[in-house]
Amino acid sequence: MCLMISEIILPTAISSSAAHAAGLSDLIQLHSPEAYSSGPSHRIFIGLRPAMIIHSIRNKQPTFLASPEWRTIPFQHVKANSFHALMTEATAIPSILVDIDQLKYGSSHSNSPLAVFEALKDLLEALVDWNVSFQGLTNKPSFRILGKGPEKAHVWFPDITTANSMTHYWTFWIMCIVYIRKLRNDYPELRDEELLISGESPESPIITEVAIQMSTWIFQSIEYLVQDEMRLFGAISATLPTRVAYQFLRYNHFYDQELISWCERVIDGIRDRGYDYIAQYILDDDGV
């Protein structure tokens, strides 16, 4: 895992992190899911799992962790915490991204647009249910906003697990909205399929504003995530959320140059801390 993370930050070759991820996947699958349900092997498994899932999303590579047995059996004795419950839902994302690409390029192996739309709809519903459950765990807010205005404000969390949970929830929610909109634009017949998000259609300006707010919160979370005591794990956990947030704002809120410029200064700050590859990944111009 440490090798894979170091390759994400300072890659020695284009395919190096993928090679480490593939090696970890093969190593874990040498044993059954039951082998990771308790004891030291369970602790190792839950330590590796989030990074492997995020890597699969980033590289659009379906993961064995999405299969029913790997989603459930490793947690049959030790209940998954909220972050791992969220990551369980996220295991569906790589396959959805592959399906969307196959539709785009007219692959004969692609699922139907309706099937992909339904998968996104199911994922979005699961994410909303997760958030309701997560917010109900305590009577305290899951985050606080310190200061005023985007540039001066910071989102602060009670702990790193909550920070990872909320920033990735916002990320996955934004991704669902982006791809649902894309499918409904490319396949107009999907607009006849019933889907309301908090009483609004996916294309509603209100939903856009929610996604803009979530994207802003992600950037306001960076100060918390890249604290020195978080070491490299905080920076790594910010990678996918910051990329998704930045790309969403660039393509959907481009007229707010003040906000975009502030986001780019935050990214420059990530680069200044020595995470040049992460900063470049965030900026790469190929959409969400």
pLDDT of residue 37: 95
Residue 235 contacts residue 275 (beta carbons within 8 Å): yes
Are 54 and 164 contacting, i.e. CB atoms less than 8 angstroms apart? no
Q: Same structural domain for residues 204 and 252?
A: yes
pLDDT score at 237: 86
Give percent of the chain above pLDDT 70: 89
Residues 132 and 253 in one domain: yes
pLDDT on residue 221: 95
Q: Which domain holds residue 119?
A: 112-288
> Taking the CA atoms of the chain, what radius of gyration do you get in angstroms?
19
Residues 162 and 199 in one domain: yes
Single out the residue in 111, 131, 164 at which a domain terminates.
111
131 and 233 share a domain?
A: yes
Average pLDDT, rounded, for the chain: 88
Domains of the chain: total: 2
Residue 230: partners with Cβ closer than 8 Å, 6 or more residues away: 160
Tens-digit pLDDT profile for residues 5-63? 555 555 554 555 566 567 788 889 999 999 999 999 999 999 889 989 998 999 899 99
State residue 188's pLDDT score: 93
Q: Domain boundary residue among 111, 134, 150?
A: 111
Distance CA 8, CA 54 (A): 11
Q: Mind listing the pLDDT tens digit for each residue in 252-271?
A: 887 888 999 999 999 999 89
Task: Identify the domain boundary among 58, 90, 111.
Answer: 111
How is residue 137 annotated by DSSP?
T
pLDDT digits (tens, 9 = 90+) for 99-123: 999 998 887 778 899 999 999 999 9
Q: What is the DSSP string of 197-238?
A: BTTB-TT-HHHHHHHHHHHHHHHHHHHHHT-GGGHHHHHHHH
Q: What is the pLDDT of residue 147?
A: 83
Question: Against a cut of 0.85, is the pTM above it?
Answer: yes
- Specify whether 95 is located in the same domain as 233: no
pLDDT recorded at residue 107: 79
Are both 72 and 132 inside the same structural domain?
Answer: no
Which of 247, 165, 160 shows the shortest CA–CA distance to 211?
247
Is the same domain home to 69 and 173?
no
Report the C-alpha gap between 160 and 186 in whole angstroms.
Answer: 39
**Same structural domain, 76 and 213:** no
Give yes or no: residues 276 and 164 share one domain.
Answer: yes
d(CA 140, CA 32): 39
Q: Identify the pLDDT of residue 195.
A: 93
